[in-house]
Amino acid sequence: MKKVSIIVPTYNEEESLPHFYEEMCKVIDSLSNEYDFEMLFINDGSKDNTLNILDQLRKKDPRVNYIDMSRNFGKEIGMLAGFDYVRGNCAITIDADLQEPPSVIPEMLRKWEDGYDDVFGKRRLREQSVFKKSTSKLFHEIIRKLSDIEVDSESGDFRLLDRKCIEALKTLRETQRYTKGMYSWIGFNKTYVEYDISKRVAGKTKWNFRKLLHLAVNGITSHSVMPLKLASLIGVVTSFVAFIYMIYIIIKAIIYGDPVAGFPTLMTVILFLGGFILLALGIIGEYLGRIFVETKRRPPYFVNSINGCNPMDFKNN
C-alpha cells in the first residue's frame, strides 16, 4: 500500500489542533483501505499547550508523529523539517487552522495517481482584507516580472508533492526560504485542484505585515538578481544624462561666462543622486546580508525531540 504523509506546520495552535485532527481523520479514515497515512506535525517552538496536545494525539493514534523544533524557526523552515522527516511516497502540506479543507485531499490523490508530481490547491475565494489581497497581488506581479519563475498568487503551500519533489526540495538548504518559489523552480509535472478558503477555525494568524514583508523580500532576492541589474541600468542612464548636461554647461560657460548661480538645480541633483546611491547601496546590502547568512553554512534548524524521544537516540540506531 502506498504511504501518504501529511505535513502540518504548527505554531501556537492549541485551539485549532483538536478540530484539525478530527477533520483530517474523517478524510483519511475514508481512504484507509487504499493508502497508509501518516501525519507529521512540526511544532515550531509553540509557547502554548500545542506540544502536550500533540503528545496526547500520538498516544491515542500511532499515525500521528511530531517533531519538536528547538525554537520558533518560522513556517518555511518548519516545512523543510517536514520534508526531511516524512516517509511517504507523497506528502501533503497543509496548515493546522483548517483554512485549507482536508476534503480536497482525495481529489489531490486522484491527480497524483494520474501521474502528476505536484498537485497544488488553488484558492477560489479569499476572505481577506482588501489591503492584504492587493499587496499580495502586487508582490506576485513583481516577482513574476523580476524572475523567470512562475508563482501563482492564488496558490499557497497547500499541495501534494511526489517523493521526487520532496527529494528535490530537501537539497535546497538555504536558510532564507521562500518555498513557494522553490516549488516552481524545481519543475516537475504540475496541476491544480480548486478549493474555497475559509476563515481560521480558531486562534489568530501568526503573520503580521513585518513578517510578510520579510517573506516578500526573501522571495525576490532569493530568486532574482533583477534589483541589482536595475540599479546598474539606472546608473548607466543617469551617467549618460549627466554627461550630456556637462557638455551643455561647459558650452554655456564658454559662450556666456560663468556667473555663480543655480543653487536650486545643484541641490536637486545632489539630493536625487544621493538618494539613488543610498537606495542602490541598500539593494546591494540586502544581497550581501543574505550571502553572509548563507556562507555561515549553519544547519537550517535543530530538533528538540521526535515523538517525545531524544533525536540522538535515532541517530545511534
Binding mask 20-59 for ligand UDP (x = CB under 6 A): ------------------------x---------------
> Going edge to edge, which strands form the sheet with 2-10?
190-195, 118-123, 155-162, 90-93, 2-10, 35-43, 64-69, 303-306
DSSP strand E in 177-312: where?
Answer: 190-195, 303-306
What is the C-alpha separation between 256 and 202, in angstroms, rounded?
76
- Tell how strand 303-306 and strand 64-69 pair up: antiparallel
**CB distance 184 to 120 below 8 Å:** no
Query: Other CB atoms closer than 10 Å to residue 282's CB: what's the count?
Result: 11
Binding mask 188-227 for ligand UDP (x = CB under 6 A): -----------------xxx--------------------
Residue 197 exposure: Cα atoms within 13 Å on the Cβ side: 17
> Which partner, Mg ion, ligand UDP, none, binds residue 96 by CB below 5 to 8 Å per kind?
ligand UDP
According to CB under 6 A, which one of 4, 6, 7, 9 is a site residue for ligand UDP? 9
- Taking CB under 6 A as the rule, does residue 10 contact ligand UDP? yes
Binding mask 115-144 for ligand UDP (x = CB under 6 A): ------------------------------
Task: Report the nearest approach of ligand UDP to the CB of residue 280 (Å).
Answer: 32
Task: Report the nearest approach of Mg ion to the CB of residue 90 (Å).
Answer: 23
Task: Report the nearest approach of ligand UDP to the CB of residue 146 (Å).
Answer: 23
At 99, give phi and psi (nearest 5°). Answer: -70, -30
The binding site for ligand UDP (CB under 6 A) comprises 9-11, 13, 44, 72, 74-75, 78, 95-97, 99, 205-207
